[in-house]
Every structure is written in C-alpha cells, then in structure tokens.
Chain A
Amino acid sequence: MPVSDRLLPIPTPETQHFWDGAREGELRLQRCCDCAHVYFPPRPFCPKCAHREVEVFRASGRAALYSYVINHRPAPGLKPPFAIAVVQLEEGPRMMTNIVDCEQTPEALILDMPLQVRFADQSEEIRLPVFGPCNTKEKE
C-alpha cells in the first residue's frame, strides 16, 4: 500500500486500542467504570474522576459537524482547499477530523449536519477516522 504523505500518528501504549480499532473499522472510545463519563482522547484513567478502571467500547460513529475551517494553503498529503473539522460525537466527546464525500465549500459544509464515521487508509498500520454526510454511501 502506498504510504500517505500526511503527518501520520505514532500510537503509544495508551492509545494503541484506538488505532487498532480504526484499522478494524471501529471508532473506539473509553468510558469510566465508576462515573460513566465517556471521554476522548484516550487515557487509562477517567479525566473527570481519576478512577483507573475504564472500558473501551465501540462508538456509534454518528456525529454532527461542530466547527471547521477550509484550508487554502499547501499541506502534506492533502490537496487544498480542504476542510479541517471538529465533530461532536453522539456519545459526547469531540474530535478533529476531515469531512469526505462532500464538496469542501461553505455551501456544502453546514454546521450541525449529521455525519457518519468512515476510515481512510494511510499506511499498513494507520487508518484515519474521517466523517461523511449520512445520506451518502460509505466508500469501502
């Protein structure tokens, strides 16, 4: 597989489950076994109550477009203009991502539009979670 020119993540022991999940087509979040707080990015303890017992679970992948910019300058592995977005996951946390299968224009990118996760291959190890409009078919 050709390796993407993007700045690709280097997983750490505490985030490995997230990137393993992405490779398997799952968006994985964590939940505190004590206070039930759902959080992101990954940590082996609850950032709300400091409890060390937490569980990994598969998120629905449903989200809404929270905010974004459309970058017009050159960026490694991406062709401008392209949107860099923050999405609000159904389970509560927000995450940075790209929006795919959608024109990269203010007219097409409407705040609060419903989105669904899909995964973009970058290398043998890394698939990035990206989001597309709910009404378009996932490109696998």
Chain B
Amino acid sequence: MRCAVAIVGAAETTELGKLPGISQIQLHADAALNAMKDCGLTLSDIDGIATAGESPTNLAHYLGIVPTWADGTSVGGCSFMLHVRHATAAIEAGLCETVLITHGESGRSRVGRGEFAGNRASLQGQFELPFGPIGPPTLFTMPVLRFMKEYDIRIEEVAMVAVVQREWAAMNPRASFRDPIDVDAVLNSKMIAYPFRKLMCCLVTDGGGALILTSAERAKDFPTRPVYVAGSGESIETPMVSQMEDFTSSRAFRVAGERAFASAGISHADVDHLMIYDAFAHLPLFGLEDLGFVGRGESAKFIGERNTAPGGKLPLNTNGGGLSYMHSGMYGMYALQESVRQLRGTAPAQVEGAKISFCLGVGGMFGASGAVVLSNEVL
C-alpha cells in the first residue's frame, strides 16, 4: 500500500570527511544514535535492523538491539534503498514495528574495516581483474566512450555534470568541496582513467547515516515531519561491467525505476526533487535517460541547459552529490538523507515546496539498483 510506512528518524554522522579517530562500526553507531535522538526513540524501541558493509549481527550486538527482523542485503551503494523497500514490506506485513537502517564507512581513513581482496576464482576475478582494473575509476567508467560515441556526446558535456553539482555544494556547509569550478578546471584536473579526470570522480571520505522507519499510523506521534515511502523498486544486472547488456543504458536502473514510478502511481512531472547516485560524472546522464526524464542521448544537453542546476526545473543532487558533498564508498544513504531533508524542508539548498523526491541508487559497477519515491504528503 502506498504511504503505509514513513521515515520518522534520519541523521548522518556528527562529522563527515576525514575521521581517523572513529572506526567503521562506530560510524554506524554514531549515525544510529543521532537518528534515534532525531525522533525521540531509544534502543529498546527498535525491533528491526538492516545494514550493509557491516553485518546485521555486528550491528545488533554493538548497539545492543534485540531484533525480530533483520536484513543484510548487500549489493553495493544502493543497498540502503533496498533496505527501505524491504523494511516497508516487513512493517506492512507485521514482522516488526520500527526499523533502523544504518550505514557507516571508513572509506578514507580505513579504520576498523577489512582490506579489499578480490576473489580470483570468481567470474570477475577470472575475466576482469587480470586485465588491470584498479577499482571503480577503471570499471565504472568503462561504458562511457561507447555512450559518448553512440550519442555524439563531448567530454566537455560530461564535465558539466561536475560543474553544476559544485554549484549545489557551494550552498551546503557540510559539503567537502564548495569552491566553484568550470569545465576547464575539470578537464585540467589530473587524468585518472581516460576519459575520466579527477573532478569527474567521486571523492573518498569517512561518514555514515541512519534512517528509522515505522508505520504511517505511528508516524503521526513523532516530533518529526513524516516522510512517506510512496513507492520503490529494485533490480540486479551483473557483477561484471564488461557483461552489461547495453553500454549506453543500465538495465537495473530501468527495471528499478519503472517499478518505483508504477508503485507510487506518479508521473515524471510529479517529481519535485531528484537524487541520482553519482559516483562518477556519467551516472546522472545514464540515470536521467534510464528513468525516462529525458530521451535517449538527451541527458547531457539537459544538464548543459541548466535544467538540473539551482533555479532549474528538475533540481538534481542538491547536496552536491558524491562528486562534491561526500562519498564514503556506499553513497546511497547520503542520497536518501538529502531526499528526507528536502521533504522536511530542512535542506541547506532547499527546493521550495518540494513534495515528492525520487531517489535512485546504484550498486557495484552498474551491478544493482534501488529506487525509492518519497513524499511528505500521503499520496
């Protein structure tokens, strides 16, 4: 049922950025405690937990929670969108009443987290890693030259994504990078993996965030303005970017996005505010097209014409995004936090009168996707 469940608590870690004095599990806890304070709950009020990056077992024990429902879905940075979707179903089904979803990641300082070790016997280990990819900058970017050739997109147009998002970040005191940049600055930044330069790649920071969900019925009793889950979608494509069906489009974006629109019963024109997980500058381009906000090959022009910039008709990534705000590794939680702030009316770069926010996440390298439609009114 639409809007049967609401987000009543939402908070990020007290600090974001470079936090060498806090281990990863404590980032989860810091965010969780902030979210509970936000809505006036205590640990004993939580009966459902969901998390990724750390196991639900670690989280429940560390926080001292006795869950009757747990979800450890871990499909990359969009896991938290899937958690919102699963928690909504669980609360509606009566499996639990109050769900805590946490994210915490010592992405930069790497305190209290395991080291990356590729499984050399997995299909990715056998058929991608031997050829020298070093993490997301060399994998997530793989489809871009094909996309650019297919639709005759220039690199200056891809760089423009980073320029516009910096404009949003400039209005956000918590953003890591706030100084204005232009296309030349982006294209003169250090080459990472042609055609991607440093300012087209997300930053790497430490931080966390947490959400608390309960039934819409109970949500009325909380001090915070309820943000209702109006619809959602999820999907998975491939663990190997080389095996994407189409290098100009994400199947997971399309499937998750369509389901989210349909379950919310809304059209594109109803969306006041949009978040598209931007680990790299091309993701908003793929997202705008795969969600159907623009036609195939039209996204770069759409952004270049300032439709997604401050003052534009479709405000996008208003926190500055993974490119300028923060990116711990699993960024999806911060996209959800910004959607909630916008619908509560508390965002630093507030979209006036925003009622419906669409939040799209990606997991792995176009491997998975989760989409959530949030509203501050019962639809």
The answer to whether B145 touches A9 (Cβ under 8 A) is no
- 8 Å CB contacts to B: which residues of A52-71? 66-71
Contacts of B128 on A, CB cut-off 8 Å? 96
Which of A10, A72, A77, A111 gathers most chain B CB within 10 Å?
Answer: A72
B1 CB–A CB distance under 8 Å: no
Contacts of B240 on A, CB cut-off 8 Å? 41, 96
Contacts of B132 on A, CB cut-off 8 Å? 6, 71, 75-78, 82, 84, 98
Q: Mark A67-104, 1 if CB is under 8 A from B, else 0.
A: 11111111111100110111000000011111000000
Tell me the interface secondary structure of chain B in the complex: mixed
Q: How far is the CB of A131 from chain B (nearest CB, A)?
A: 11
A7 CB–B CB distance under 8 Å: yes
The answer to whether B146 touches A67 (Cβ under 8 A) is yes
The answer to whether A7 touches B129 (Cβ under 8 A) is yes
From B126, B131, B134, give the contact of A98 (CB < 8 A).
Answer: B131
Contacts of A86 on B, CB cut-off 8 Å? 142, 242, 247
The answer to whether B130 touches A67 (Cβ under 8 A) is no
B143 CB–A CB distance under 8 Å: yes
Contacts of B143 on A, CB cut-off 8 Å? 67
The answer to whether B130 touches A7 (Cβ under 8 A) is yes
Contacts of A15 on B, CB cut-off 8 Å? 123, 126
For B125, give the chain A residue with the smallest CB separation.
Answer: A9
The answer to whether A84 touches B127 (Cβ under 8 A) is no
Which of B157-165, B187-195, B260-268 is the contact stretch? B187-195
From A73, A76, A96, give the contact of B137 (CB < 8 A).
Answer: A73
Give the number of chain B interface residues (Cβ < 8 Å). 34
How many residue-residue contacts, CB under 8 A, span A and B? 113
Q: Mark B332-346, 1 if CB is under 8 A from A, else 0.
A: 000000000000000
From A66, A82, A122, give the contact of B130 (CB < 8 A).
Answer: A122
B61 CB–A CB distance under 8 Å: no
Q: How far is the CB of A123 from chain B (nearest CB, A)?
A: 11
For B194, give the chain A residue with the smallest CB separation.
Answer: A70
Contacts of A97 on B, CB cut-off 8 Å? 131
The answer to whether A10 touches B126 (Cβ under 8 A) is yes
CA distance A6 to B247 in the complex (A): 26
CA distance A69 to B133 in the complex (A): 9
Contact A71 to B133, CB < 8 A, known contacts A7-B118, A9-B120? yes
CA distance A110 to B141 in the complex (A): 17
- 8 Å CB contacts to B: which residues of A1-56? 6-12, 15, 19, 40-41
The answer to whether A81 touches B194 (Cβ under 8 A) is yes
B243 CB–A CB distance under 8 Å: yes
Contact A72 to B243, CB < 8 A, known contacts A84-B138, A95-B127? no
Contact A6 to B130, CB < 8 A, known contacts A67-B142, A67-B247, A84-B142? yes
From A9, A66, A111, give the contact of B127 (CB < 8 A).
Answer: A9
CA distance A70 to B134 in the complex (A): 11
Which of A11, A71, A85 gathers most chain B CB within 10 Å?
Answer: A71
CA distance A73 to B138 in the complex (A): 9
Contacts of B366 on A, CB cut-off 8 Å? none
If A9-B129, A69-B138, A98-B131 are given as contacts, then 4 extra A-B residue pairs at C-beta distance below 8 Å, sorted by A number, are A10-B125, A71-B132, A73-B193, A128-B130
Chain B residues within 8 Å of A, Cβ to Cβ? 118, 120-121, 123, 125-134, 137-138, 141-146, 149, 190-196, 240, 242-243, 247
Chain A residues within 8 Å of B, Cβ to Cβ? 6-12, 15, 19, 40-41, 66-78, 81-82, 84-86, 94-98, 106, 111, 122, 126, 128
Would you list 16 pairs from A and B whose C-beta atoms are within 8 A, ordered by A residue? A8-B130, A10-B121, A11-B126, A41-B123, A41-B240, A67-B247, A69-B145, A69-B194, A72-B191, A72-B192, A73-B134, A73-B137, A75-B132, A86-B142, A96-B242, A98-B131
6 tightest A-B CB contacts, nearest first:
A9-B126, A70-B194, A67-B146, A10-B121, A96-B242, A69-B193
